[in-house]
Amino acid sequence: MHTERVTIEGVTFLTTLHLGGPIGLLALHGAVEGGTAELAREVATRTGATLLTFTQPTGPPRHIPSIRMSPCTPLTAFLTHATLAISLHGHNRRSAPRTIYVGGSNRPAARVLATALTGSPFTPITTLSDIPHPLRGLHPDNPVNRTRDGGVQLELPVQARTTHPVPTDPEVPPGEVVEGIAAGVRRLLEGQGAPG
């Protein structure tokens, strides 16, 4: 596990990188989308996946859109090592408090993860036209799409990211979601990354 401070658009991030298996778990907004870094860490620990998280150790949390996350050294190492990325994000759509939007460029892998999450208390949505445009994760500059086989962007409501209704440190992701994503990662590994 390697930690490094990087600065992007004047914001200091603490990155944590572990190079593991060919599938990579990515949490670009660990400080502002509570529970995503912890969820990525739990899934990576259970599956041996590669892991990269970004948190903000000081100052008020600031959200920098994924497509503007610079190719810093840890992110470049992640994108070079992993063949398929799974990027964890948080959404706060009040009309969809139990919905997990499953976007990203690798649609076969998206369906594998959605199937693995159907046993959780949340409803995964994979049809792109049913996913709000800002949450689809299809932009080519989005890091989730820059690995060899592209990736899957999971947009998770608050209750799918943390078991606490208010921000706490550390966040504790719900077991059903951890198990669902981990099961999906294992299936993708069995299929050698489900190339898109």
Domain segments of the chain as ranges: 2-190
What pLDDT does 71 receive?
A: 84
What pLDDT does 194 receive?
A: 40
Question: Which residues contact residue 101 at a Cβ distance below 8 angstroms, ignoring those fewer than 6 apart?
Answer: 91, 124, 125, 131, 132, 135, 136, 153, 154, 155
Give the pTM.
Answer: 0.93
| pLDDT tops 80 at residue 165 | no
pLDDT digits (tens, 9 = 90+) for 36-80: 999 999 999 999 999 999 999 888 889 999 999 988 999 999 999
CATH superfamily of the 2-190 domain: Poly-gamma-glutamate hydrolase, zinc-binding motif (3.40.630.100)
